[in-house]
Structure 1
Amino acid sequence: MSHFALRKTLNYNRSRVQKRFTLLFILQQTREQSTKECPKNAEDYEYIQKSKVPTMHFQASLPRLPIPKLEDSCRKYLDAQKPLLNEEQFAFTKTCVNQFLESEGQPLHKELLSIDKKNRHTSYISEYWFDMYLRDRQPLPINYNPMLVYSQETDKRYNDQLVKATNLVVSSIRFLKSLRAGILEPEVFHLNPKKSNTEFFRTFTGMLPSWLAWYGAFLLKAYPLDMSQYANLFNSTRIPEQGKDRISLDKSARHMVVMRGGHFYAFDILNQDGTIISPKKVAANLNFILQSKTSESESPVGILTGAERNQWAEARAHLSKIGNEEILKKIDSAAFVLVLDDQSIGDETNDEDYRKMVRHFLHGDGINRWFDKSFSLIITKDGFAGLNFEHSWGDGVAILRYFQDVKADITKNPWFRPEDRVLISNVNPQVESLKFNLDGKMKEIIQTEQEKYRKWVDSLSIAHMIYEGFGKEECKKFGVSPDAIMQLAFQLALYKQEGRSVATYESCSTSAFKHGRTETIRPCTEYTKAVCATMVNKDSGISAAELKKMIVDCSKAHTELVKNAAMGQGFDRHLFALKKMQEKLGKKTSLFEDPAYTAINQNILSTSTLSAPIVIAGGFGPVVPDGFGIAYMIQDKRLGAVVTSYSKHRSANDYVKNLQAAFEDIHKVMATP
């Protein structure tokens, strides 16, 4: 979820907390001190940050994710169903919900509350959410793994593949070491950064014990976020197993794995004493790999990580059986996987090259990928860099923090310069080549999976659009939420295309709570449906002023939905947990047997944003075969989206054309005096 949403949602009842404090005198006794940034010298080469507030300082005092009242969830669920059902369907669904509220759901809700009370160290959704991800047998790429692409460096010399790879590796390990040492700045959302994102804030909260620290931040209108997911950012991987995968973590490993042409290499990035190897050694090792004359692998094992999970589990078991267990462990335990591709993207301002870039980082041809790793850092021959990350271990908040901090470091503090290339010729590379032992059966499996993968990714349609001149600034002037305008446009585009409203998902972080994951915002509302019907029907007789008011009402309703979701007061995760509780107890209820419940969770429009100036592309696949995956960005003066769909079911190109028209229509109405 974008930060502007939290700004409107995290305003707790401040007076309740203030009464608990007699510590305000500390504010007058502390003095301003500078958080230690890492100056560019050998002594501080090891860390990307040296925060005076320990990384996990706020974790112990984070508030717990609330379980909504059953009646509230039922009411909000019915509100979300109204624009999707006809009168007869809605009447039936209402009957099912009433029965659930009055009888069937009560024991489930009571049991959920009881279990939550016994597990105060976590959230009620955490275990269910991990389980949901790890049990799904669908392939990871497109279905689950999102991607992000960095903007290029302004000094083109630093976009050289070797130079960029070296700097990204060094900065990544500096981030890792700061995280592990507990000196990475805690993740905090500041309602008013000018007043709270200060050394005064850090000194004050840093002096409080961990069990009080969150409350101290709260007094200053700042909200520390959950950082439990960061543990699995490095040295982590998802292991395929029959029925349910597992996450493996090995913090003792000191190496990283590099892929090129479907081949695997490894080298230590930490010395035995835990210090980072020099930038020249990193560069020498990477240069050795880049200069290797080895042709592309004829049997790329990495393609198997893009297979159906049970099939990959079976294939992996065979790989281990024929003598590859140590290589697999080497990949699994690596800090991360660096992917060096021999393909070039071209010019990201060219539409064709932009779509090529999205495809390349979202799925590629699967030959030079290992989709199971917590994240893979991918760098093309012409220096485009980005991430493809596995989703079960964590969400966008953690990955975006790493993404942004590393970008800032390589831009402001590059440890390897283009002119340093001449210095690596005297450095002896220390690279281990990881060669899989493959029998005839394994080679046949790999070939089969390659063919399946190629057909699958070829069926994916990708389109994108940028709407210039309408962004955050003008939305604020109009008095509407930029996110609400984006979501209204998504509804209007579909309405133009198909004349109906459909189940829609917008991701919202609940990281303001301990072990929070995400909640669903349901942006398809009666308000958006009314606006869409009016704008499509040119003879509605509604004036521009009335239509503008309808859009403002849409924005208000959407802002309330965002507020509820961010505060853990949506309905989706609550009902999801109750359904899991029902399955565990072997019961059936009218609400979950209702076809409308299945339908609302078949999200035709799946949307999410990770807006940041350094992101030039982001994307993910549709969550249902006949749906659209919409990754969108909101900037000061422009709005944009990357849209994916399967060509057999829906056209991403047609949708984007309608989305462009939707933006134009909405902008015209809002700009009318």
Structure 2
Amino acid sequence: MAEARSVAGINIALTHDGVAVSYDQELLRDIWSAFSRSYRKRFARFKNHFKAGIFPANLTSLVATLGIVVLGALFYIDLTLGIVTLLRNWILYYIFGSGYFCHMMSLLIGGSLFWFILIQIMRLSLKFLLSYKGWMYQSSFEKNITQFTKIWFGILHFISKFEPTLHSFQGSLPHLPLPNLDDTLDRHLKSIRPFTTDDEYNEMVLLTEKFRKGLGRRLQRYLIIKSWLSVNYVSDWWEEFVYMRQRSPIMINSNYYGFDTLNMQPTHLQAARAANITWAALLFRRMIERQEVTPFSLSPKSKVPFCTIQYERLFNSCRIPGEESDTFRVFNDAKHIAVYCRGCWFKLSIHSGKRLLEPKELQHAFQEILDSDCTPQKGEAELAAFTAGERTPWAIARRRYFNTGINKLSLRAIEGAAFVVILDEEEVYYDENDPSKLDKWAQSLLHGKATDRWFDKSFNFVIFKNGKMGINAEHSWGEN
């Protein structure tokens, strides 16, 4: 795998005058930059999660609550419903005594606890509000919408004024409801009736009734218990048994593809198109990290929030093969993308110091890759074929041949990249008079040559020679 520049080093030598240490200042700057950037991101992530965790309140409300509690104490009124008194007389008194400091600490801690309790009440109320499902059967633009639903939409619009972040509603969304066993079985019988003969249907009715009165009841009780202990009673099992334990190739069977716009083309320059789509994706990644994406993206007018957990697995992620079951791994902070061009894999840095590369800088980097005369190492051009085949052989090969040395580092560079960009050598077209051209485009996006798409990656941008593009995406990360 090729990289843009070599890594500077530290040299230690033993001389007659003692130990001599020589170092490259650029290396120290890179180390310090990586260290500081990592901790800045951790702090920002903590701040964003804290902000989302106290929504619809904010830190200003904490200051206001403490001020009101202190003001009440001046008039000998405990506005915290006894929390301050309990802390002062039964806990802090034995630590700090009965002085002024004990009194102030009890007000500070008691006021904060009271604020925290108020927040939990607000979030429980929000969860109760969002559990209403009647809006699904009424459009917010219909004239016959009920008064109750109008009020419900009005409350949501009011809450949206508090500027929620991406995950602000995540802890307040209602749990996935568990269907009634009888309803499920009745619907199953109704769904198979058109496809069965009378004898087959009657036999299925007998089997259904046997299941309804026996094993079905027991399994339903297990599901009820699981629904109490998890937000979504089916998501972990669905991912595990539908996706991760699937041993057949995920190419075609699981991965999906997406087209570029058919009748519009911003540029015919492959490097320019790759640069712009890369830059736009990185800006969106930064918005996700800062939780600047609105939680109303699916319903911006009605302001109904949706589950946003899948955003966390969109970038810096990869499906890892296992002999019996795969896993899905999200890497902390990818500072590069993986680029495939003419059989060679490249590791392209996306930062210059503390900033993201601009589109023109990315275009220059992509053009250098396109103009390079690099020759693939033995097996490099076909490396991605592992991800196109059966999962168990890929897991065995990964354990045997990619566990140490340069193979391990190169594999880590691809799997740990923000995403993959494929600079395809082919040209694709859309012609309304020739459907075969669109078929060729779709086939290339779906499977390519089976050796030039990293199917385990969350998604691959495929940029064709004439500036057209598309995407190939792994399916499991977006199912929750």
CA contact (8 A) 2:156 2:303 kept: no
- 1-side partners of 2:442 and 2:348: how far apart? 29
CA contact (8 A) 1:261 1:367 kept: no
Corresponding residue of 1:351: 435
- 2-side partners of 1:281 and 1:188: how far apart? 31
- 2-side partners of 1:52 and 1:25: how far apart? 12
How far apart are residue 282 of structure 1 and its match?
1.0
What residue identity is the alignment partner of 2:428?
Answer: I
Q: 2:89 matched to 1:89?
A: no
Q: 2:392 matched to 1:310?
A: yes
Corresponding residue of 1:611: none
CA contact (8 A) 1:258 1:338 kept: yes
- 2-side partners of 1:386 and 1:54: how far apart? 30
Look up the SS of the partner of 2:319 in the other structure.
strand
CA contact (8 A) 1:116 1:124 kept: yes
CA contact (8 A) 1:254 1:271 kept: no
What residue identity is the alignment partner of 1:226?
Answer: C
What residue identity is the alignment partner of 1:277?
Answer: L
- 2-side partners of 1:394 and 1:142: how far apart? 17
What residue identity is the alignment partner of 2:316?
Answer: N
CA contact (8 A) 2:317 2:415 kept: yes
Corresponding residue of 1:60: 171
Decide which of 241, 262, 282 is 2:322's aligned counterpart.
Answer: 241
- 2-side partners of 1:365 and 1:11: how far apart? 47
Look up the SS of the partner of 1:305 in the other structure.
helix
In the TM superposition, what whole-angstrom CA distance separates every residue of 1:479-500 from its partner, at most 9, and x where no partner exists? Answer: xxxxxxxxxxxxxxxxxxxxxx
In the TM superposition, what whole-angstrom CA distance separates every residue of 1:496-546 from its partner, at most 9, and x where no partner exists? Answer: xxxxxxxxxxxxxxxxxxxxx5xxxxxxxxxxxxxxxxxxxxxxxxxxxxx
Corresponding residue of 2:313: 232
Q: How does 1:441-480 map to 2 (within 5 A)?
A: none
Corresponding residue of 2:103: none
Gaps of 5+ in 1: 1-5, 34-50, 198-220, 396-516, 518-673
CA contact (8 A) 1:304 1:312 kept: yes
Look up the SS of the partner of 1:159 in the other structure.
coil
Classify 1:384/1:232 alpha carbon distance in 2 versus 1 (closer, same or farther; 3 Å): same
TM-score for both structures, normalised by structure 1: 0.47
CA contact (8 A) 2:296 2:303 kept: no
Q: 2:246 matched to 1:136?
A: yes
CA contact (8 A) 2:157 2:303 kept: no
Corresponding residue of 2:64: none
Look up the SS of the partner of 1:148 in the other structure.
strand
Look up the SS of the partner of 2:477 in the other structure.
coil
CA contact (8 A) 1:374 1:389 kept: yes
In the TM superposition, what whole-angstrom CA distance separates every residue of 1:218-269 from its partner, at most 9, and x where no partner exists? Answer: xxx4422111111110000000111001111112221111011231101221
How far apart are residue 278 of structure 1 and its match?
2.0
Look up the SS of the partner of 1:179 in the other structure.
helix
Corresponding residue of 1:336: 419
How far apart are residue 293 of structure 1 and its match?
2.3
CA contact (8 A) 1:52 1:183 kept: no
Classify 1:287/1:125 alpha carbon distance in 2 versus 1 (closer, same or farther; 3 Å): same
TM-score for both structures, normalised by structure 2: 0.65
- 1-side partners of 2:156 and 2:426: how far apart? 60
Decide which of 363, 376, 397 is 1:283's aligned counterpart.
Answer: 363
CA contact (8 A) 1:229 1:393 kept: yes
Look up the SS of the partner of 1:256 in the other structure.
strand
Decide which of 170, 177, 191 is 1:80's aligned counterpart.
Answer: 191
Q: 2:372 matched to 1:292?
A: yes
Q: How does 1:104-119 map to 2 (within 5 A)?
A: 104-119=215-230
Classify 1:26/1:379 alpha carbon distance in 2 versus 1 (closer, same or farther; 3 Å): closer
Look up the SS of the partner of 1:151 in the other structure.
coil
Q: 2:265 matched to 1:182?
A: no
How far apart are residue 107 of structure 1 and its match?
1.1
Corresponding residue of 1:149: 259
Look up the SS of the partner of 1:158 in the other structure.
coil
How far apart are residue 104 of structure 1 and its match?
1.9
- 1-side partners of 2:272 and 2:163: how far apart? 32
How far apart are residue 147 of structure 1 and its match?
0.3
What residue identity is the alignment partner of 2:401?
Answer: L
CA contact (8 A) 1:345 1:353 kept: yes
- 2-side partners of 1:322 and 1:52: how far apart? 48
What residue identity is the alignment partner of 2:388?
Answer: G
Aligned length: 338
Decide which of 362, 378, 386 is 2:446's aligned counterpart.
Answer: 362
CA contact (8 A) 1:263 1:368 kept: no
CA contact (8 A) 1:237 1:247 kept: yes
- 1-side partners of 2:274 and 2:464: how far apart? 10
In the TM superposition, what whole-angstrom CA distance separates every residue of 1:26-82 from its partner, at most 9, and x where no partner exists? Answer: 95xx9x99xxxxxxxxxxxxxxxxx94311122222122110000000100000110
Q: How does 1:259-270 map to 2 (within 5 A)?
A: 259-270=340-351
How far apart are residue 297 of structure 1 and its match?
6.5
Gaps of 5+ in 2: 1-132, 140-144
- 1-side partners of 2:244 and 2:419: how far apart? 20
- 2-side partners of 1:343 and 1:297: how far apart? 22
CA contact (8 A) 1:375 1:390 kept: yes
CA contact (8 A) 2:135 2:149 kept: no
Look up the SS of the partner of 1:338 in the other structure.
strand
Corresponding residue of 1:223: 304
Look up the SS of the partner of 2:470 in the other structure.
strand
What residue identity is the alignment partner of 1:124?
Answer: Y
CA contact (8 A) 2:134 2:149 kept: no
What residue identity is the alignment partner of 1:379?
Answer: I
How far apart are residue 83 of structure 1 and its match?
1.0
CA contact (8 A) 2:319 2:327 kept: yes
Classify 1:179/1:370 alpha carbon distance in 2 versus 1 (closer, same or farther; 3 Å): same
Q: How does 1:377-392 map to 2 (within 5 A)?
A: 377-392=461-476
- 1-side partners of 2:322 and 2:156: how far apart? 56
Classify 1:294/1:136 alpha carbon distance in 2 versus 1 (closer, same or farther; 3 Å): same
Classify 1:279/1:26 alpha carbon distance in 2 versus 1 (closer, same or farther; 3 Å): closer
- 2-side partners of 1:342 and 1:369: how far apart? 13
Classify 1:16/1:63 alpha carbon distance in 2 versus 1 (closer, same or farther; 3 Å): farther
Classify 1:24/1:127 alpha carbon distance in 2 versus 1 (closer, same or farther; 3 Å): closer
What residue identity is the alignment partner of 1:351?
Answer: P
How far apart are residue 321 of structure 1 and its match?
4.0
More contact order relative to length (CA 8 Å, sep ≥ 6): 1
What residue identity is the alignment partner of 2:257?
Answer: M
In the TM superposition, what whole-angstrom CA distance separates every residue of 1:284-325 from its partner, at most 9, and x where no partner exists? Answer: 211111112235676221111101000011111222246311
CA contact (8 A) 2:258 2:470 kept: yes
What residue identity is the alignment partner of 1:390?
Answer: E
- 2-side partners of 1:245 and 1:268: how far apart? 28
CA contact (8 A) 1:342 1:381 kept: yes
Look up the SS of the partner of 1:301 in the other structure.
coil
Classify 1:14/1:316 alpha carbon distance in 2 versus 1 (closer, same or farther; 3 Å): farther
